[in-house]
Structure 1
Amino acid sequence: MSFTMWRRPLLHRARSTIAATTARTTTWQSRVRWRVAAGTAALHTSRPAFAVKPFLLADIGEGIRECEIIQWFVQPGAKVQQFDNICEVQSDKASVEISSRYDGVIKKLYYEAGDMAIVGKPLVDIDMSEMPEDAEGAPSMPSPEASSAPAAVADAPPPPVPAASSQARADTRAGNSGRHTSLATPAVRRMVREWGLDITQIVGTGKDGRVLKEDVTRHVEGAAEPPSAGPTSTAAAAAPLQEETVVPLTPVQNQMFKTMTKSLSIPHFLYADEAAIDRLVTLRNTINHSLAVPTNPASPPPVRKISYMPFFIKAVSTALHDFPIINSRLDFADETKPRLVMRPQHNIGVAMDTPAGLLVPNIKNVQQLSIMEIAAELARLQTAGAAGKLGAADLKGGTITLSNIGNVGGTYVAPVIVTSEVAIMGIGRTKVVPAFDKHGAVVPKTVVNFSWSADHRIVDGGTMARMASLVKRYCEEPELLVSKLR
């Protein structure tokens, strides 16, 4: 066989192989181009992955790390806009309503009412996918595989919640908000939950049936009493079996524990004196008589009756002009060189015994207020404290504190200074005592006792005594106090 005849079949097979390879390459390239185009179309039509945005609980006050969820104003599926209220929270110091910063739909609540929410952690998830999509994306033809296959998992709507589950959740929430829920402070409600009690079974002795801490304790003690089992021995009746109960601290108690523990580092200087306030009694009675009959019914006064506290508060503020160091605070930014910060504002705190515990809101800029304005602001703070509605702004920024223990009945007190202040004044019970006049005759005299504590690291005894004496004089001679009003 010649060489030419042998070469022809070989060339034919080579040409066939090259043609098949070229066809497969063309088919592969077309498939790659089709898949890239399909992927580009998917990029233009899918929703953004960040449509659901976590809404974080922001810091609502000084040093607050957690707060209790009091109530929700929204539920999953609810539409919200910016500044719509989402929930109400109770911190160690105050209750605050949290509002939304976004427009969208609530997808998830991270806490139930009564849970402790952590500052900086998600509070709710808000779906912002209902915002208008980008209209600039060019449409592309869907692939056959995409048209025949189910929708992508990421684009699928969440499965509907069964009606029975939704109704059960609603029933549970309705059961938790019984007829006494609004008549108890967050601290009391938390105590009830921790003890596993039904608040509707507790008899409230507060205003309008409000359930107090004492009511919960009384209810627990009553339930712990064993039923009568007939006559017993005298020894057994005299020494009933008692068990200790572990009770966690309420948020207010926990904050008080931290604050008072820090106060142990302050060396307290104590000073007490007695003031005869008969002339102040006369002035107050005259003012209250005038308030009872307003001169302009169309513009009634902000309060109808004032106590002695507005006078005491104004007397302290007026004396601070002569002793500004009592209104200062220590700055330990450099521990080796502590500094004294002089504060021009007289933000005078007033210790209050509220249903939630001890709280100390303060009246801002007392140096600029009249006695009537102080009385009106004091009444507002007392009402808010009784209702558990004191805001964070009411509780921060104090420069000096007054504690009126006389409302309870005490005469003398050794008040404790908080670390952001250098002095505190305690006020005892006002009472009438026998005294001698200048002729030696026995006459009645109205007196009140003032007890002072000062930070002895920067306030010496002489300064504290002179400050206290000036406050005493303003209370004994209210005409002098009035002459100092600005």
Structure 2
Amino acid sequence: MFWQQSSRALRRQWRICNGLRQSVAKARPSAFSPHPARSFHAARSLLAVKPVILADIGEGIVECEIIQWFVEPGARVEEFSPLCEVQSDKASVEITSRFAGVVKKLHYDAGEMAKVGKPFVDIDIQGDAKAEDLETLTPPEALVEESKPSPVPAAGQPPVVPAPGAIPASQSQGSEQSAPAPASLERKGKHASLATPATRHLSKELGVEISHIPGTGKDGRVTKEDIYKFVNRRNSPAAQPTAPTTPTPADLVSPDVATTGAQQETPMSLTRTQEMMFKTMTRSLNIPHFLYADEVDFTSLVELRSRLNKVLHKSGLSDGQVSKLSYLPFIIKAVSMSLYKHPILNARVDIDASSSNGSTKPTLVHRSQHNIGVAMDTPQGLLVPVVKNVGTLNILGIAAELARLQSLAVAGKLSLQDMSGGTITVSNIGSIGGTYLSPVVVEREVAILGIGRMRTVPAFSMVPGEEDKVVRRQVCNFSWSADHRVVDGATLARAAEVVRTIVEEPDVMVMHLR
């Protein structure tokens, strides 16, 4: 009974609604139609060709130099596949692909400067790009070759067919240069040459186009030995007759000037490392410096280092990366220990120009970690990688990190992370030579330590109750520079005294092991 009443009620309501709908439809036929027209909305179709934007790699960098391409137009790439290697003001970085597809266009050649935020490569993500898209992405060289008209014979003249064995006119002219060029001079394209930044720097110094050199390294990589072999073949007497005669600067000088020995000036562009140093030191010299120098007795440290190296050699306590300790890890650790007592040397100065009256408002920012930059002499020039969080490392840990950074610096493979984040810098110029120096404070730091050459000097032994006598001492000069806007001479002298005490009594480090 209940289900029958419910069904009758539902049928009654349906008839009432149907009657109302028909009455409204008669009044406004277009308002309700049996099948109202609907418009279908679709998402915007994806573009077949996607430009890859050079992302911001931090540290305020606005442009990067394309060191080498790992791909070329027509190559298939997957997501996160390496596209190219770029070098910024800090270090070299490998750029990977955001899409999977086919490379259609390279916006820059190797050696050119790419802008951050601009496309540097186009990738076809669907593989079915339209003809008009492909025309716009075709390299200019290909268009020039396709647009060259074929020779058309004049009207009424039969086409000229070369006889068997005949030499074309283009080859008959200048038959002395008609011999095929060596394989090493075949131009492979700048994006096809793989080489480290150090190798490219060597090729620029020797005036050799790296794309002309066949690589014998891994994956066809050009090595320094390949460059030297290429230069020797080019300069050999047998290769001189076939080599193109390019006038040298000496040939362009008149005999009178050559005999009188007049000054000759040859402009040369700065290398990427020199440009980085130019910009960094220009900003750093805006910091008012003051110099503080001290003489440190290394005699006890020399003895301790000698004993520890014997222990490493006999017992094999090294971790495989460090087989011999130098003096630098001890000095870096001493600097870190002094920063606990004088944290102002681990700070940086921030200048806020957004004050209400338009004046600048300086702020001193203290930092908890001791990230000590170490100046290194590399084939590319002066680089300053950073040993991170020195306060948590022991002497072996610091030595292992220094060995890792040194190997990467020589190979030109330092990453941006290895080069950034420094809070204070140590420059060991004494490993090359020089007793005194005046180091320049690095931007975003307030102090730097320069280490001179260690030397043997006679000194008086001052032992209480004993007669003074002359003994051999190993001494070294420490030269400090500091930002005089926030660091005064007394503060730096106290911090330098802490470092001197620890170096002269290195056993103190044992009491501060973590």
Contact 1:425 1:453 in 2 (8 A): yes
Contact 1:346 1:399 in 2 (8 A): yes
Counterpart residue number, 1:324: 343
| 1:118-174 Cα distance to aligned partner (Å, 9 max, x none) | 21111110111259xxxxxxxxxxxxxxxxxxxx85599999998x979x9x95227
Q: Between 307-316 and 70-79, report the one with greater CA deviation.
A: 70-79
Please state if 1:173 is matched with 2:188: yes
Contact 1:433 1:445 in 2 (8 A): yes
Counterpart residue number, 1:483: 511
Matches within 5 A, 1:169-248: 171-173=186-188, 181-182=195-196, 184-190=198-204, 209=225, 239-248=260-269
Task: Call closer, same or farther: CA 1:154–1:210 in 2, change over 3 Å.
Answer: closer
Counterpart residue number, 1:341: 365
Counterpart residue number, 1:81: 78
Structure 1 residue 404 displacement after superposition: 0.8
Contact 2:386 2:420 in 1 (8 A): yes
Task: Call closer, same or farther: CA 1:412–1:294 in 2, change over 3 Å.
Answer: same
Counterpart residue number, 1:303: 322
Return the match for 1:368 from 385, 388, 392: 392
| 1:375-423 Cα distance to aligned partner (Å, 9 max, x none) | 0111111111111111111111100000111022111111111220000
Counterpart residue number, 1:384: 408
Alpha-carbon distance between aligned partners in 1 of 2:303 and 2:449, rounded to the nearest angstrom: 24
Alpha-carbon distance between aligned partners in 2 of 1:156 and 1:412, rounded to the nearest angstrom: 63
Amino acid corresponding to residue 446 of structure 1 in structure 2: Q
Alpha-carbon distance between aligned partners in 2 of 1:155 and 1:95, rounded to the nearest angstrom: 33
Return the match for 2:67 from 65, 70, 78: 70
Counterpart residue number, 1:406: 430
| 1:50-103 Cα distance to aligned partner (Å, 9 max, x none) | 121100111223122222222211122222221111111122221111101112
Alpha-carbon distance between aligned partners in 1 of 2:496 and 2:478, rounded to the nearest angstrom: 8
Alpha-carbon distance between aligned partners in 2 of 1:210 and 1:351, rounded to the nearest angstrom: 30
Gapped regions of structure 1 (runs ≥ 5) = 1-39, 132-151, 201-206
Task: Call closer, same or farther: CA 1:211–1:275 in 2, change over 3 Å.
Answer: farther
Counterpart residue number, 1:16: none
Task: Call closer, same or farther: CA 1:295–1:390 in 2, change over 3 Å.
Answer: closer
Structure 1 residue 328 displacement after superposition: 0.5
Contact 2:196 2:411 in 1 (8 A): no
TM-score (norm 2): 0.69
Task: Call closer, same or farther: CA 1:86–1:183 in 2, change over 3 Å.
Answer: closer
SS of 1:247 mapped into structure 2: coil
Task: Call closer, same or farther: CA 1:182–1:346 in 2, change over 3 Å.
Answer: closer
SS of 1:338 mapped into structure 2: strand
Counterpart residue number, 1:12: none
Contact 2:456 2:474 in 1 (8 A): yes
TM-score (norm 1): 0.73
Structure 1 residue 483 displacement after superposition: 1.4
Amino acid corresponding to residue 432 of structure 2 in structure 1: V
Structure 1 residue 198 displacement after superposition: 9.5
Alpha-carbon distance between aligned partners in 2 of 1:337 and 1:281, rounded to the nearest angstrom: 47
Alpha-carbon distance between aligned partners in 2 of 1:114 and 1:165, rounded to the nearest angstrom: 24
Gapped regions of structure 2 (runs ≥ 5) = 1-38, 147-182, 214-222, 236-247, 354-358
Counterpart residue number, 2:54: 57
Structure 1 residue 197 displacement after superposition: 9.4
For the aligned residues, what is the CA RMSD? Answer: 3.9
Amino acid corresponding to residue 255 of structure 1 in structure 2: M
Alpha-carbon distance between aligned partners in 1 of 2:226 and 2:388, rounded to the nearest angstrom: 30
SS of 2:490 mapped into structure 1: helix
Counterpart residue number, 1:33: none
Contact 1:401 1:425 in 2 (8 A): yes
Alpha-carbon distance between aligned partners in 1 of 2:211 and 2:102, rounded to the nearest angstrom: 34
Structure 1 residue 485 displacement after superposition: 2.1
Aligned positions, number: 401
Counterpart residue number, 2:156: none
Alpha-carbon distance between aligned partners in 2 of 1:483 and 1:190, rounded to the nearest angstrom: 52
SS of 1:173 mapped into structure 2: coil
Matches within 5 A, 1:281-300: 281-295=302-316, 300=319
SS of 2:361 mapped into structure 1: coil
| 1:284-324 Cα distance to aligned partner (Å, 9 max, x none) | 1111112222347xx84431011100000000001100000
Counterpart residue number, 1:436: 460
Structure 1 residue 192 displacement after superposition: 5.5
Structure 1 residue 361 displacement after superposition: 1.0
Q: Point out 4+ residue stretches in structure 1 off by more than 3 angstroms.
A: 152-162, 174-179, 181-193, 195-200, 207-212, 223-227
Counterpart residue number, 1:35: none
Task: Call closer, same or farther: CA 1:183–1:90 in 2, change over 3 Å.
Answer: closer
Q: Between 467-476 and 102-111, report the one with greater CA deviation.
A: 102-111
Matches within 5 A, 1:260-299: 260-295=281-316
Contact 2:203 2:210 in 1 (8 A): no
Return the match for 1:448 from 471, 476, 494: 476
Alpha-carbon distance between aligned partners in 2 of 1:476 and 1:464, rounded to the nearest angstrom: 18
Contact 1:82 1:101 in 2 (8 A): yes
What percent of counterpart residues are identical? 52
SS of 2:268 mapped into structure 1: coil
Alpha-carbon distance between aligned partners in 2 of 1:50 and 1:300, rounded to the nearest angstrom: 53
SS of 1:172 mapped into structure 2: coil
Amino acid corresponding to residue 299 of structure 2 in structure 1: D
